[in-house]
Amino acid sequence: MPVSLAQAHIDAFSQQSRVRAGSVIISVFGDAVHPRGGRIWLGSLIRLLKPLGISERLIRTSVFRLVQEGWLRTEAHGRKADYLLTPGGQQRIEDAARHIYASSAPAWDRRWRLMLTVGELSARERELLRRAMFWQGFGLVGGDCFIHPSADLTAASDALLSEGLGELLHKLMPLLAVENHFGNSARNVDMILHAWDLEHLGASYTAFVNSYRPLLEALRQQSADALTDEQAFLLRTLVVHEYRRLLLRDPELPAELLPHDWPGNEARIMCREFYRRLLQASERHLDKQLECANGDIPAAQELLHQRFQAEDPFADLAQPNAS
């Protein structure tokens, strides 16, 4: 039964001893709040997340930290206040959304994107740069060369600006290198193994697939109508949140550079199918519960319905009888 399985997932999450509430809040902002104007009253956020076992105190503390970290800002309305994404926070949300809701793996033009460090960096600058480039999906080779097969170098530079690291740009040299410059495919594989930990990432994707496959199969049998609107929203939130956390570590390499049975393909298709099955009921819940400080309940924008629109060549991987 999808109801009992869904509630079991919700209960298991709510009973965790440690929940990264800030990360869940960012997932909710990106998936539910951003398509409805990007603002929410704190009381509404507390109400939405309470069934996940996240206390009001923890939400308040986490939101305060997100403000300090530059993700969110406040806007007062009388005695209440809305929380909104900062420009930097919105940029990061939109960057992540392009990956979360993509329906297929990126194509490869067989050119590597490189960012070489050509100036002296302090230990703190080097760590900040590593984290920012990691967010963009770049791997690190040899300590001084960030690589990626398909990233937009201009967007990567813009991301450094939005992260407040613009002063480091003159110490970086962006380059394009064709595949042949790196030698044969074996050399590519060797470089990938040094730049990214694909073994650990693949195991995490497999765990995600194994955790959610029984519930997806149950939904195929009885549909999301068997769930309450709140359960549909909570399940959608958990699927997107856990998938987003995987993507934070995923460079999203093109198929040519991945094992043929890469579990990230199935995870993406499962997430897509969950989203489509849960969208209508979960949006009904948000129509009632997502409230701004002035009492308005903003409607969902077209942005929401553009997600996962393209057909996916790996769609059959998520079917029950797929090999």
239: pLDDT confidence band, cut at 50, 70 and 90?
very high
Position 179 in a domain? yes
Q: Most distant CA pair in the chain: distance in Å? A: 64
Give the model's pLDDT for residue 156.
Answer: 87
Q: How many helices (H) and strands (E) does the chain have?
A: 12, 7
Q: What value does the mean pLDDT take over residues 167-190? A: 75
Q: H-helix or E-strand containing 41? A: strand 39-41
179's tokens? 């595949």
181, pLDDT greater than 60: no
Position 301 in a domain? no
Which amino acid makes up residue 233?
A: F
Q: Are 171 and 118 in contact (CB under 8 A)?
A: yes
Distances (CA, A) of 13 to 6, 9, 91, 120: 11, 6, 28, 44
Q: What value does the mean pLDDT take over residues 53-76? A: 95
Percent of the chain with pLDDT over 70: 91
Contacts of 120 (CB under 8 A, 6+ apart): 171
Each residue's pLDDT tens digit, 128-167: 999 889 888 899 988 889 999 888 888 889 888 878 888 9
Position 120 in a domain? yes
Q: The domain that contains 186 carries what CATH number?
A: 3.30.70
Position 182 in a domain? yes
What's the domain count of the chain? Answer: 1
212, pLDDT greater than 50: yes
Each residue's pLDDT tens digit, 21-33: 999 999 999 999 9
178: pLDDT confidence band, cut at 50, 70 and 90?
confident
227, pLDDT greater than 70: yes
Domain that holds residue 161: 111-195
- Residue predicted with more confidence, 304 or 108: 108
- Concatenate the DSSP letters of all residues of 65-125 into one string: HHHHTTSEEEEEETTEEEEEE-HHHHHHHHHHHHHHT-SSPPP--SEEEEEEE-S---HHH
Q: Are 237 and 32 in contact (CB under 8 A)?
A: yes
94, pLDDT greater than 60: yes
Position 133 in a domain? yes
Question: How many other β-carbons are positioned within 10 Å of the β-carbon of residue 197?
Answer: 12
Position 320 in a domain? no
Each residue's pLDDT tens digit, 259-307: 888 999 999 999 999 999 999 999 999 999 999 999 999 988 877 777 8
